[in-house]
Amino acid sequence: MAADFKTAQPTEYYRRFLKEDIRPDGRSLDEIRPTILNVGSISTAEGSALVKLGHTSVICGIKAALAKPTAEQPTQGFLVPNVDLPPLCSSRFKVGPPSDQAQVVSQLIADIIKNAGVIDLGSLCISEDKLCWVLYCDLVCLDYDGNVVDACMIALIAALQNVLLPSVEINSETQLAETSREKTVKLNIQQQPVCTTFAIFDDTILIADPTIEEEDLATGVVTIALNKNNHLCCLHKPGGSPLTENQLQDCINRGKLRATEVRKLITTTVDSIGR
């Protein structure tokens, strides 16, 4: 009977749980699903991380390539994130060009990286106007059950902290790049932005870490990103129900607690493998 009611009237079914300040999966409204992190699982990448946020799984692999800096920024390298939501992660995604959602998430991740100043791009420059590193950060969703943005950001920051690069020098005689065999150079991570996403239900109720079902029923979704000082570095709200000032502050306060947990998880996991 409950399954039939859920199928016929999913919104009303959900409201009955919210009246008791609980969700169908047993979580409270502000409870985040269990988060599991593993780093260094892709041996062919310079750095990698796998994140499981409930039933949502994202893997990040970082590959480094040498390139010439742009004329506009001759002393900086590049950090290029790309999010892939393939059909294997959910039936809602089809074979072909990147979906609109994948493009939106990729741009959001890029904006957060830039606004937070995750890496000093100048540290990726090897020789001014001649040579720099390009870090291609490929984020692939393996299982999609909502809130892919938060999972992607955790995977990306953990993977960046797992990166090891070879040392590179320009030969003064030949003017060619000479790369060491061993990879010993770590990245200087300046910031660890953490995202916290909330679904807005019936225009008023904020639900942390929404599942795919909750995203579909929501009247709006908002993602906040906080830097290591817990200052807001990005606010993403693509339409839907408006947020009051009090609701936004509530999101930030909850996000601060989540950010502390995530940073501790990343630090502990990365340190455990000794890179």
Distance CA 134, CA 137 (A): 10
| pLDDT band at residue 23 using 50, 70 and 90 as cut-offs | very high
Are the C-beta atoms of residues 35 and 19 closer than 8 Å to each other? no
List, for residues 208-241, the tens digit of each pLDDT value.
999 999 999 999 999 999 999 999 999 999 888 8
Which residue's structure tokens are 């239900």? 201
* Domain that residue 42 falls in: 26-190+260-272
Q: What percent of the chain has pLDDT over 70?
A: 96
Helix (H, G, I), strand (E, B) or coil at 125: strand
Are residues 155 and 58 in contact, defined by beta-carbon separation less than 8 angstroms? yes
Residue 201 lies in a domain: no
Q: Is the pLDDT of residue 4 over 70?
A: no
pLDDT score at 275:
58
Interval 111-128: pLDDT, tens: 999 999 999 999 999 999
Measured distance CA(258)–CA(264) in Å, rounded: 10
Distances (CA, A) of 218 to 68, 104, 204, 207: 45, 18, 10, 9
Residue whose structure tokens are 């009090």: 246
SS3 label, residue 206? strand
pLDDT of residue 6: 67
> Which residues on neighbouring strands pair with residue 173, listed in sequence order?
none
- CA 169, distance to chain mean position in Å, is 32
The mean of the pLDDT values for the chain is 93
User: Is residue 274 over pLDDT 80?
Assistant: no
Q: Does residue 141 lie in a domain region?
A: yes
Q: What is the pLDDT of residue 268?
A: 95
| Residue 33 domain flag | yes
Task: Tell me whether residue 106 is in a domain.
Answer: yes
Residue 178 has pLDDT above 90, yes or no: no
Asked whether residue 4 is domain-assigned, the answer is no
Answer yes or no: are the C-beta atoms of 78 and 64 closer than 8 Å: no
Answer yes or no: is 255 within a domain: no
The domain tally of the chain equals 1
Which of 2-11, 40-49, 80-89, 200-209 has the weakest average pLDDT? 2-11
214 in any annotated domain? no
**Helix H or strand E encompassing 184:** strand 177-186
| Nearest-angstrom CA–CA distance, 44 and 236 | 33
What CATH number corresponds to the domain at position 68? 3.30.230.70
Domain membership of residue 58 (yes or no) is yes
Pairing of strands 78-84, 131-143: parallel
